[in-house]
Every structure is written in structure tokens, then in C-alpha cells.
Structure 1
Amino acid sequence: MKKTKNAKTRCCKHTDLPLERALIRVVRATMFVQPPLPEMDALPMAQMRLLWMVYHMPQATMKEFSEKLEVSQSTVTQLADRLIRRGLIVRFHDSKDRRLVRLSLSEQGHRLLEESMEQMHATLQAIWNRLGEEERPKVIEGLEILGRVAEQFRVEQGRAPLTWREESLSKIPETSEPIPQPMVDLMARRIRGNVRES
């Protein structure tokens, strides 16, 4: 028992990091404020991750989803089967090579994800409107510096650099800088409402 308590104490010391505390505060106030959509809340996390990946990689092959999610192709097949039964994605063979199986969002799946993102965008827009004219450039500059350093660190760790689909970028009001759509895992956790207000 004593050993478990010590392990917990060591873990909790990390919350003293200023960056971590600031990020948690921002994420809780922006990404976790909306109630979960019932149809999305019913999805297990693994299915949620694949669903968002299908959105960001339209018509990709099963192999590509397997590599991106770092799971076996058989796992992707099982997850896809369940999402197909829910009517959220469709599976089809490549027109030029029948051996290739691809996934795409169904109309229902597309509507669901668009609705969830509209909720997030509405929240961010409301927060942006509350910032003063002098505060907005400072906020963007700070976030871009943090994002650049974090991406560089990711590459230095030997991980693949993050990329975004050009058509999935929306504009920040009154600036020319784009906001990428939410990352799969972060958006999934937000929709499922796994973080409760204390």
C-alpha cells in the first residue's frame, strides 16, 4: 500500500509544471465545454479514432489507416465493420485495383462530425470575440511558438511530423492564420465528455 501511495505522489508532482497547468486550463475551458453528442458518445474510443481518421484521410486504404493508427489491419477491419453497421462509414473497392479496400464517411457520419466541429468552432469564436484587439496577436504568437517547438520536439523523438489537409483549415477572424481541425484523440475525448467539471 505504501509503495502505491509513493508512486501516486511522484506522479502528481508533474502538475507543478507551469506549461502543463496552463494547457490543462485552456483545454478544459475550450475543448470540454460542450455536452457529448449522443450518437458519438455511444462509440468506444477505438471506433472514434478510426471515424475521425476517415474524415481526415478520405478514401484511404485499410493499410494506410493501419499504419496511421499503429494497429493491425485486422483490427482496422473489425473497427470498420462496427462503424459500417452504425451507418457512419462505407467500405468499397478501388476502381483501378480491386485488391485495395478503401473507407469513406457516409452521409450520416459526415453530418455527425461536421456538427461536432461546428460546436467547437462556435465556442472558439465566442472566446476569440472576448479577447481585446491587443490581446489577439499575443495569443496567436504564443500559441504558434509553442506549436512550432512541440512539432520540432516530436520530430527529434523520431516520430512522423504532423500534417494537415489544406481543405480542412478554417480562418481565424480578422487574421490570415489558419486553425487546423482538432486532432483525432483530443476531439474524441472532448465529444465523449470524459472530462467532468470539478
Structure 2
Amino acid sequence: METRDIISLISKIREKVNRFIVAEMVKQGLDGIGTSHGDIIYALLQKHRLTMADISQRINKDKSTVTALVDKLVRLGLVTKERDQEDTRFVYVTLTEKGRELETVFEAISADMLEQFYRNISEKEQETLLSILMKINNNF
């Protein structure tokens, strides 16, 4: 493998991580929820109430995609949508009780994924990797 192959390798790693997460969610009975749905739930676990625009920005997806993702989560009973009373252009999304119950599941899946991801990689190497990837991200 050559240094020019790094982008392809990053893409392959991302795909494997996503498959790992989806497989773990299925094991937990969360069949039909993709990683983008998980990103929304995670964002709402961090901040109780978000607008669709906030979610779009946090998960780096366009608003129409976020709308479709949120609508599925509504159908699954994991989130609710509510229009702002004063400015109906704003739609707020919040987790339901059922959605909040996923926090421990998400934490466990995240811990398992990170354990797999960083297996055989020293703490110093992890810090170096993070530093390099942050530089690359900032280049764009």
C-alpha cells in the first residue's frame, strides 16, 4: 500500500466501523436503524432539544435527508417533532422516553467499537493519529 491509498483505506475503515455499529445495534434489537439515525439520537442525547437545522449541521447531512431520517425515528417512537409556537418555520426534535433508554445501549456499542478500533494501538499512537487526522480535516 502506498501513501496515496490512504483515502481509500480511510473509506474502507469507515465502512467497516459502520457495519460493526449496525451489527451491534441489530444484536440489541435495534434492527432498521442506520448509523445516521444513531448520529441523530446521539446528538439528542447531548442536547435535549434541537431544531432540524441544528441536527443537519451536527451530523453533516442536508436538511431533506435529516427530515427523512427524523421521520423514521418518529415512526419508531424514538423522537417527537414539534413546531415552534412563535415561529412555525422551526421544528424541534426531542427524544421520547423510549429514545432516551437507548443511551446505555449506545454507550456500550461505542465502547465495544472503540476497543476494536484501537486494539493493538498504543495511547501515543492514538494521539498521533488524532493529531494527523485533525490536520487533514482542517486542510479542507
Counterpart pick for 1:106 among 96, 117, 125: 96
**Where does residue 82 of structure 1 map in the other structure?**
72
Deviation at 1:32, TM superposition (A): 4.5
Percent pairwise identity: 20
Q: Determine if the alignment matches structure 1 residue 36 to structure 2 residue 24.
A: yes
Question: 1:149–1:90: structure 2 CA closer, same or farther, 3 Å change rule?
Answer: same
**Where does residue 151 of structure 1 map in the other structure?**
137
Deviation at 1:92, TM superposition (A): 2.4
Alpha-carbon separation, structure 2, partners of 1:146 and 1:94: 42
Q: Determine if the alignment matches structure 1 residue 140 to structure 2 residue 132.
A: no
Alpha-carbon separation, structure 2, partners of 1:54 and 1:151: 24
Question: 1:92–1:25: structure 2 CA closer, same or farther, 3 Å change rule?
Answer: closer
Deviation at 1:149, TM superposition (A): 1.6
**Where does residue 107 of structure 2 map in the other structure?**
117
The structure with the larger Rg is 1
- Structure 2 unaligned runs (5+)? none
**Where does residue 36 of structure 2 map in the other structure?**
49
Higher relative contact order (CA 8 A, sep 6+): 1
- Structure 1 unaligned runs (5+)? 1-12, 155-198
The structure whose residues are more often helix, as a share, is: 2
**Where does residue 170 of structure 1 map in the other structure?**
none
Specify the SS of the correspondent of 1:41. Answer: coil
Question: 1:126–1:105: structure 2 CA closer, same or farther, 3 Å change rule?
Answer: same
Q: Determine if the alignment matches structure 1 residue 60 to structure 2 residue 50.
A: yes
